[in-house]
Structure formats: structure tokens, C-alpha cells
Structure 1
Amino acid sequence: MPLYAVGNGGASSPTDINQYMNLLTGVSTDQPVTVSQRIRAQLSGASAGTGGYVGQTSGPPTSGTFNTGDFTADSAGGLWVCTAAGSPGTWGAVGLVPINVQTLGANAASVTYNGLPGGFRHLFIICNAQSTDTASSLQNVNMGLSTMTGNWMGSATWFQSNGGGVQTADGSGVTTPPVFKIPAAGGSSASNMGGGVMWMPNYTSSTGTKMFHCDSMAYSGNGSTITWQTTRRSGWIWRQASLAGLNLTLTPSAGSFAAGSFLGLYGSN
């Protein structure tokens, strides 16, 4: 729509006030603001205005015409900015954008993320969890692909446990490499949580090997008897197509993610 110029002067004209109302509410009070009605601002001498609008579903806009600098907040709480004008233009995420964030209301044997969005460049998983396994003190959280046909994983680990450093290599052909350590009910109180952060750079690339990196910490026990372990792990996914989904499981498999565990999937550019 043409950029509306607010008149100069100490008092707003009725036309200006009417235009404000139209931009904020649409033609009538029950009509939401559309892309064409979004509020825009332009500095003196600028060739085009910058505008923002709300009501976008999760992810960047997929329709409409936008200028560089336009921005939106989506239904998942993510912020997006247009980096190249067009229809709908090129969009980048501002900071970490939540894709699937949950605090479990009940025990869960696994957590699956299907339909990973393609609007991001980098992927993050944040885990703060406990296992229900009563026979173990610490458990691995393992990451697998929702589609493994023709793909495989490999990983290597450096970790420090109670002051001792150990290096291990899983090698290639691993289908579900561990990414986090979490405490289990067998050696922990209900308040003990563990986990960490996993990040996968450039996961939407359609060529080349995907890489992932993890930092994790967990401890079990009470009082003076405590077992703790910090873990740093890196690995690769031999898959040239962009990823369709990820799933998280536990080993030993006797346990589940306990109710109250937090697992968040985020994207960024």
C-alpha cells in the first residue's frame, strides 16, 4: 500500500487518527491487520519504509511482498527479519526461535521431533531431564534420525568424570549416538536434573555431512556420596539431504524421561 504521510503540526488531524485506527484494527474492529495493512515507518530521505506485523504462524512468512528490514513475530514467539526484499523475500531468525519446547507432564519413553522446519540454518536442543530407571545412576540420552535409510552416524567423545579424563571413539555406523548424560532415579533424588546443549550447524544444507556438538553434565547421589560426569561429544551424520526429524531415547532402555523433564528444540540463522 502507499506509504501514508502524517501531517506536521502540533495537533493530529482527524484523517491521521482514522488512518491509525485502520492500521491497527483494519477496516472494522473485528478485522485483523493484514500484510498489506501492516504499520510502516520511514525516516526522512529513506527510499522505503520498514514495517512489522503480527499473526504469522510458526516460521517466516511464506506469502506477501516485503522490503528488507520488515519484521514479524510468529505464533511460536519467534522474531523474524526480512534480509532481502521479495515475495515473500528472504527471512532470518532473530536469536534462538522455539520450534518445540515442552516440560513433560508425564513420563515419556522417547521424544520425537518430526517435520523440522526449513527456515533456519542451525538447530539446537536443550535438555534438563531425569530418567525413571531405578537400576541405574546415570543414563545416556541418544539421538537418532526419523529416517535412517541410506544414512549413518559416527561420533567421538571427550569427557571428564570425577576428575579423570577419558577419550573414546564410537566410530562410524552408529545409529543412535549419545548426546547427553542425565541422572536416573536409581541413584538420585527427584530434584536432580541433568543434560546440556546440542547444536547442529547448517542442518538444512542439501549437500555435505551434517555435524553435531554437545556439552552435557549430570550427577547422581545425595549428601557426601555424589557421582558426576561432564561430557563433550562431537559427531557427524552422513546425509546430504536436509533432515526430516530427530528422536531422543534412553539407554539403558528400562527408563523413561521423567515427568517434569524439560526438552526444547530451537532454530537460528
Structure 2
Amino acid sequence: MTVTPPHDHLPGPVVVLEFSHEIPPRTFAGILPERVAEAGVRRIDPLACPGIADEVTALRTQGTHWASSVREAGRLPSAVLAYCSASALAAELVAALPEPGVPLILFDPEYPDRPAPQSLLEELAQGIDDSGERPPAPAITDLPPQQALAAAGAHLRSLVARSAPDLDRAVADELTAGQRAWMSFVLSASAAPPTAAVKPWHVFLSEKGTWAGAGEVPVSRTGESPRGLFTSPSVKAALFQVLALVGACR
């Protein structure tokens, strides 16, 4: 987690959850107001949770870990921002903070369902071997999460070994660590329904985004593409207004 000093006009920094190795990347850097971006941002990569590549950790436990990390870094956050499947983790992080009511701002929130890990495994396998001759991925949907991760990891390592039969196991582990971390996170997220204890302060949606609870929280339907949501000047201006309201209310 990287830390910069808190923003003068907010009671604490802004925490953002971003998948740092996503391709192509999505980052809040393009839409955070300059004064906030320069003076008060803490970035958390959900896939950097210790041991996540080898163990499926409950999403609530992950939220508690990151909340502790935030507390140790200094002042409590003024707001927490997250996108896509990091939304549920962000809610758990907010719920674990000692001060209630820290605003949660979501962008194109998604909540992985039960079939999501299987779909992800197929996608990751194709990324390693797209020859069309790779062995089928194991069925993991009905397995307990830890067994599912073990089966997925073994399959991914085997695909690496097919292209490099003499590769050392430790090297194969290293080469597949990112994929296994992603698989572990999705397994955790798909096993945990969104916490009802924390409702978003505001939701920003792209042209493809959806929000089932639109009547409960303010929703900005931007019309931007999923990537454009993170580069749009109009979204940046709207986020500035939301954060200004956060500062006024806290």
C-alpha cells in the first residue's frame, strides 16, 4: 500500500482499491481531483493480500486485514473508492474500520456469482495456452473454495509445464502466482454475498454498468465506456462534487 499525506480539506485521505496488474489497466488516477490525488491517496491492490495465491481467505478477513493496514498508516480515510469485483471487499474494509460511516463510492460494481470462478479459470487457461489443444479445465464450481483453488492452480501449472517440460516447480509457482491470486480472490468474492452493513454513498456507472439498488443510493449513469469511466473529464468533475460533499459532511 502506498501512502501520501492527507488532503487539507478532508478529514483524512482517500483510499482506492485498484487491481494493479489488470490489462488494460483501470485506475482512479485519471479522475481523482488534482488536490486529492496530490495530497491524500492510499492505494490498495486486493491481490496483494498476504498468502492469497495459495489460500482462499474469507472476504471479511481480507477486509479486516486492509482496514488494519489503513489504521496503521495514519488517519482514517475520508472515503473508500473501488470498482468492479473489488466492491464487496471495499464494503468489508469500510465495515471493519473503527469509525462508522466512512463513505463508500463504487464504479461499475460487480459481485462474482457462483459460476464466476469456473469462467475465470477457462479465461486464465486460454491466456497461458491458446493453441486449442490444451486439456480441459477441471470442474471446480461444486468444490469447496480451497479445493477449487488447488485444482485450478494445478491446472495452470500443468499448462505452463506443457510449454516448458523441464521447468522447475518453484518457477512454475512464480509464473502462475498472479493467476492463482486472482482465482483465489474471485473464489472468496463469489462465496460472500455483499455485506448489508455498508451501503454505498454514491455509484458511478458506465454504459454497461448496472446497480440493483439504484433507488437506495445516488447513481450517476455516465454513458461512458467501462474504460472511459476512468478518464472522463465529466466523471472527474462529478467525483469532485461528491468528494466535496463528503468533506462538508465529515
TM-score interval, smaller chain: under 0.3
Higher helix share: 2
Choose 1 or 2 for highest CA Rg.
1
TM-score (norm 2): 0.25
Q: Greater relative contact order: 1 or 2 (C-alpha under 8 angstroms, separation 6 or more)?
A: 2
Higher strand share: 1
TM-score (norm 1): 0.24
